[in-house]
């Protein structure tokens, strides 16, 4: 058998090359991670990919901003969104033309010197309400916008005037009870006269007949007066006081009570207010309706309490035309016929 000769120099070179190969392939986990992170990072931060994404985003943002600005510009400056129509409900004494002109005068201006004040989106209904309350005698006002170009306004006028009838003249009085203006005299046909034929003899002993007025009653024609002088509460003062400008003919409480009764019936019922007959100012008065029946009231006391009693009793009366009177003067008790 031939003996194999081992070449030690050859083995040494072989094992040396093996060690060198292991040195090239890392065995340290930290070193291996570092190399992987480096390779991954360089791939994510590709400069061409990042630049392309950034340009697209900028273009989209620019388009979005321009679209929003264009929409806002159209909404603000296009005449389609300008308020052109004003509808008013509740006007009775104030001129409708005057009122609407005031509304357009409020909104037709340049807001911040640039934007049209009559634009639907820029109109401030609270500002309109406050200005109208200052310009007109209003006790209540509601202003609403109706898209795209309409304002709807509901008002309740404040009453500061009463028509005062002393049986001789009609006058305007204020809430303080003083005469503001004398309107005209009371016509003869506004009195109802009860007449009687009286027989007597003359100086020659001949019988003669003549017609004499035995009683006269003044009934203010409420509907005609309201049409002529305005829809205000009417007070007929049977005391026949003389009138003159700035003359005090009623107590302040009486005048204000008459206005409150007028507004309460007008806004909370369908009972047509006629006039109030006043014999004294101790508190009692008679309120005549245009339906022919009347209410005995305390004109300046417990008005809301009396009104609630009136509503309660009317629920049990199906036909108001059959009523002669309702007495509301006594707390907790109501009489009617």
Q: What SS3 state is found at 218? A: strand
Neighbours of 163 (CB within 10 A): 23
Residue 154 has pLDDT above 70, yes or no: yes
Contacting residues for 34 by C-beta, under 8 A, at least 6 apart: none
Residue 138 in domain = yes
Instruction: Looking at the structure, tell me whether residues 295 and 196 fall in a common domain.
Output: yes
Instruction: Looking at the structure, tell me whether residues 322 and 202 fall in a common domain.
Output: yes
Mean pLDDT of the chain, nearest integer: 83
Instruction: Looking at the structure, tell me whether residues 200 and 96 fall in a common domain.
Output: no
Query: The dihedral of CA 290, 228, 95, 158: what is its sign?
Result: negative
- How many structural domains comprise the chain? 2
Contacting residues for 87 by C-beta, under 8 A, at least 6 apart: 150, 151, 152, 153
pLDDT tens-digit readout, 218-243: 899 999 999 999 999 999 999 989 99
H or E stretch covering 139: strand 138-146
SS3 content of the chain, % helix, strand, coil (to 5): 40, 30, 30
The pLDDT value recorded for residue 5 is: 58
Instruction: Looking at the structure, tell me whether residues 171 and 257 fall in a common domain.
Output: yes
Domain termination site, one of 113, 134, 157: 157
Residue 214 in domain = yes
Instruction: Looking at the structure, tell me whether residues 147 and 265 fall in a common domain.
Output: no
The pLDDT value recorded for residue 81 is: 83
d(CA 256, CA 235): 12
Residue 70 in domain = no
The pLDDT value recorded for residue 31 is: 47
Instruction: Looking at the structure, tell me whether residues 285 and 151 fall in a common domain.
Output: no
Mean pLDDT on 309-318: 90
What angle separates helix 125-135 from helix 96-107, to the nearest 10 degrees? 130
Poorest-pLDDT segment among 9-13, 83-87, 102-106, 322-326: 9-13
d(CA 322, CA 263): 24
Looking at the chain, the whole-number percentage of residues with pLDDT higher than 70 is 81
Domain termination site, one of 157, 185, 212: 157
Mean pLDDT on 153-162: 90
Poorest-pLDDT segment among 124-133, 161-170, 219-228, 313-322: 313-322
Provide the token pair at 326.
Answer: 């309702």
Neighbours of 9 (CB within 10 A): 8
d(CA 121, CA 133): 22
The pLDDT value recorded for residue 67 is: 67
Contacting residues for 27 by C-beta, under 8 A, at least 6 apart: none
Exposure string of 286-310, with b = 16+ CB inside 10 Å and e = fewer, is bbbbeeebbbbbbbbeebeebbebb
Residue 181 in domain = yes
Question: What is the pTM assigned to this prediction?
Answer: 0.67
Residue 232 in domain = yes
Instruction: Looking at the structure, tell me whether residues 170 and 294 fall in a common domain.
Output: yes
Instruction: Looking at the structure, tell me whether residues 195 and 260 fall in a common domain.
Output: yes
pLDDT tens-digit readout, 263-273: 999 999 999 99
Instruction: Looking at the structure, tell me whether residues 206 and 244 fall in a common domain.
Output: yes
pLDDT tens-digit readout, 51-92: 555 777 877 777 778 767 666 665 577 788 888 899 999 888
The pLDDT value recorded for residue 24 is: 46
Residue 251 has pLDDT above 80, yes or no: yes
Query: The dihedral of CA 298, 302, 305, 311: what is its sign?
Result: positive
Instruction: Looking at the structure, tell me whether residues 141 and 249 fall in a common domain.
Output: no
Residue 37 in domain = no
| CATH value at residue 103 | 3.10.20.310
Instruction: Looking at the structure, tell me whether residues 222 and 266 fall in a common domain.
Output: yes
d(CA 163, CA 259): 11
- Using pLDDT thresholds of 50, 70 and 90, give the confidence band for residue 101: very high
Position with higher pLDDT, 2 vs 261? 261
d(CA 102, CA 138): 14
Instruction: Looking at the structure, tell me whether residues 190 and 266 fall in a common domain.
Output: yes
Which domain, by its residues, includes 228?
A: 162-336
């Amino acid at each position: 058998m031939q003996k194999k000769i081992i070449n030690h120099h050859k083995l040494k070179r072989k094992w040396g090359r093996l060690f060198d190969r292991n040195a090239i392939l890392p065995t340290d986990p930290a070193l291996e991670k570092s190399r992987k992170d480096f390779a991954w990072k360089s791939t994510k931060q590709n400069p061409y990919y990042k630049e392309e994404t950034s340009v697209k985003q900028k273009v989209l943002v620019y388009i979005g901003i321009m679209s929003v600005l264009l929409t806002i510009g159209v909404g603000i400056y296009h005449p389609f969104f300008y308020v052109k129509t004003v509808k008013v409900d509740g006007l009775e004494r104030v001129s409708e033309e005057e009122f609407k002109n005031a509304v357009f005068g409020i909104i037709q201006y340049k807001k911040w010197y640039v934007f049209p004040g009559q634009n639907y989106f820029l109109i401030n209904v609270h500002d309109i309400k406050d200005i109208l309350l200052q310009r007109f005698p209003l006790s209540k006002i509601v202003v609403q916008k109706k898209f795209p170009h309409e304002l709807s306004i509901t008002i309740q006028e404040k009453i500061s005037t009463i028509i005062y009838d002393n049986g001789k003249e009609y006058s305007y009085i204020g809430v303080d009870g003083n005469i503001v203006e004398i309107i005209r005299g009371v016509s003869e046909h506004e009195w109802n006269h009860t007449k009687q034929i009286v027989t007597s003899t003359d100086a020659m002993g001949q019988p003669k007949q003549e017609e004499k007025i035995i009683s006269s009653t003044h009934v203010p024609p409420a509907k005609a007066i309201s049409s002529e002088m305005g829809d205000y509460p009417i007070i007929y003062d049977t005391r026949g006081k003389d009138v003159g400008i700035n003359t005090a003919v009623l107590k302040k409480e009486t005048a204000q009570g008459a206005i409150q009764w007028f507004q309460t019936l007008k806004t909370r019922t369908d009972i047509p207010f006629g006039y109030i007959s006043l014999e004294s100012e101790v508190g009692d008065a008679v309120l005549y309706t245009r339906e022919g029946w009347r209410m005995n009231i305390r004109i300046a006391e417990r008005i809301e309490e009396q009104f609630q009693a009136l509503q309660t009793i009317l629920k049990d009366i199906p036909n108001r035309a059959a009523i002669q009177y309702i007495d509301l003067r006594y707390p907790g008790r109501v009489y009617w016929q």
